[in-house]
Structure 1
Amino acid sequence: MPDSEALPFDLVVRSDSALIDGDFRSAAVAVREGVIVSIDRVDAPLAAVDEVILPSGQVLLPGIVDSHVHVNEPGRTDWEGFASATTAAARGGVTTIVDMPLNSIPPTTTPSALDLKRDAAAPQAVIDVGFWGGAIPSSLGRLRELHEAGVFGFKAFLSPSGVDEFPHLSTAQLHEAMAEIAAFDGLLIVHAEDPESLAAAPAPAGASYEAFVRSRPDSSEQSAIEHVIDAVRRTGGRAHILHLSSAAALPAIRAAKASGLRLTVETCPHYLSFDEATIPDGGTQYKCCPPIRDAANQEQLWEALVDGTIDLVASDHSPSTAALKFAGDGDFDLAWGGISGLELSFRAVWTGARSRGIPLSAVVRWMSTATADLVGLSDRGRITVGAQADLVAFDPDASFTVSAAALAHKNPVSAFDGSHLHGDVARVWLRGAEVDSAAPAGRLLRRT
């Protein structure tokens, strides 16, 4: 029998600019059985069943890993579903998503609900899909069951979630959940807004975006994040702050990290792309919680990404039907809160980074390597020997204007509609095979 190493590779991608070990260099990336098995010089004599030479202007990147996606199936599949969400993700260069435990019905708060999620996703997933579990009052004391069933961690709200079947935790319940999860070294991920601060704030006032922002003040994030930090300090556990919008919380986060607490933080493309002054009254396509704040705040979020205070960027893709998104004819109190941006998230962040002189390698680190590391998927998020061959051919200089109607997610509503963005996702490979939405080949992932 011939030596297996002498057999042709399944795929070789040759690129004058591949992102390897944090830097761009020319390389030939060879794949066998879905795994990167060799990285050689670009002109190395490597035989392959399929050889791809990227054209000038395209770079080779690892697939994006989006750790914060609401797919909503089963139960609210008219909002989004695994077929549409994973197709949209692949079009945006995303090769792995981790699905949130709400807004599906039932939410992923029990092993049986996780089984329903997996059954729904299995025949439809165009890319790889993992799952978060939920920490709600009724699931406390039983979180280890979900952990052992393979969820990547536990989502909790500290203020009302917006759906009745996923109630929030009180401060005492937050500490209870953190202690329970710390006992098996799991991960708690937190929507950090304090209900007492929200209750004390002025109520939203119809179509006024300024009034909506006042109704969810910086203090609500600051207070909730301080509760999370206190719970981490008391238990020694791990916590992750979701969708940070307020730069006012950055000093407390910096201090917590400097003291050695196991705390990570994300922000989202919409906070890095839009600011309060540009959002029109009645523009409920921009409604999200916590809200998009002013331009000075936005620049502080960018600075915190660059200095490492904020660890990563994830989409928080949270779609709904158009009827819900525009409920009340532009009334911010009545409209569903969530931004649909999964297909655009990587290119939106790259557009903002490019304008600030931040390199593409940093964006990939925030949206691929760091997100993969958050959930323990060390086999992806990087181009290295032994990694899964999830690859993206990307033209960073191409530009386009977003049309929400042309996006692949289920409902044609997006805050990015009309935005001028940079970057073209030319080709996407999952485990060395080019992604084809008509032939779903995604796998369902479990925490290992």
Structure 2
Amino acid sequence: MWTMNKIQQTFTVLAVLFSLMHGSLRAQESLSLDEAIQIGLENNYDIQLSKQNVAITEIENSIGNAGFLPEIAADGNYNRSQENTTLSFADGTDVNRDGAISSNLNVGVGLNWYIFDGTKMFVSKNKFEALEKAAKYDLQANINNSIADIINTYYQITAEQKTLSLYKEQLKVSEERLKLSKAREASGAGSKLEILQAEVDLSADRSALFEQEITLNSLKKRLNRLLGRETFTDFVVTGSITLGSELSEEDLKQKLEENPNLKAYEQNISIAVLEKKETFADRMPKIAVSGRYAYNEAESEAGFVRNNQTDGINYGATISIPIFNGFQLKRNEQINKIQIEQSQTAYEQEKASLEEAFLNQYYAYSKYLELLKMEQMNVKTAEKNLEFALENYELGGLSAIDLREIQLSTLAAQERLLAVQFTIKSTETELLRLTNQLIEGK
């Protein structure tokens, strides 16, 4: 008979099993580079902040903010009072009123509109457009930087995943070596010392494997942060480090001017020039028109007039001409001039830094491409050497120390090849980032 307690226990066990199965499925989640980039574009924190900055500049870039539109305001007030009143007239009569009530109502709508402000409103509108462009260049720069981080981290995980596989293969070789050492010792061809040394080396390989798993886990957490998702999300990257077709230095140089950081600095020059024009516009006369409609109603229980009601409009124009304000305009113009020079200097500095980074990256890129061929040949040779070494060790023609040295030499060659492949991919990514073609050339 099934008791209630047994049923509850059964459901608990099933729930735990389901949870474990779900976790296992999540652990097997695969993540392609395209998927990682798409998630990053949607969720990356730096990109989101830059998008919000662009949204602010789009709101600020309006004719109203530039000063083209009039100001219209409505106002009104109502007052009521209760007073004791005594009136004495010339004919000798008196009027006494206790608690006489009087009230006054005023409402109105006014308009004030600058129809000429020395063309400052036109200059301000152009400045807001330049600020919006600068914000969009900053957004593009942040997108490029974030995507470059995602690509580099993704391929670093790919390399470390491959390294983990190499360490596992290394572990298998060490386990096989231990078996052979025991077999040699049993047949009298080996010694206990060989077995102990094989066990020490096997333990070292296991330790390296654990450390590699820690490194890989840390990189996955970093990628999750760059993607703007929960850091504990587990996944497996797919594919391998794929190198694109060789990049042309001349083609890249032609697109260096499209770097969004450089474009943003260029916009800063335009903004500084427009701010100087705004200051000059402050020297010009300003003409404003104004108008107001007003309604007034007054009532009094005591006095000569019991009710008074008026309404109507008034309008006019105002011109103001700046004459002297303590040389403030002159100081502003001097500051604007320096700010323009600063913007131009910053632009030239950024351009020089960009060219330096480009030349260094391309030189490294071309050299590592040459090194790649060499390391590929080294790995093939090292793997063949290890295969022969294992056969010779089994036959007794090679010592345990020599076998370990060949084993480590093969692993080192494989790791160097992975490092070269990752470095090429990293420099390739940086070159595409510098020339603003990262997304299309990932």
TM band (smaller chain): under 0.3
Structure with larger Rg: 2
Give me the TM-score of the superposition, normalised by structure 1. Answer: 0.17
Give me the TM-score of the superposition, normalised by structure 2. Answer: 0.18
The structure that is strand-richer by fraction is 1
The structure that is helix-richer by fraction is 2
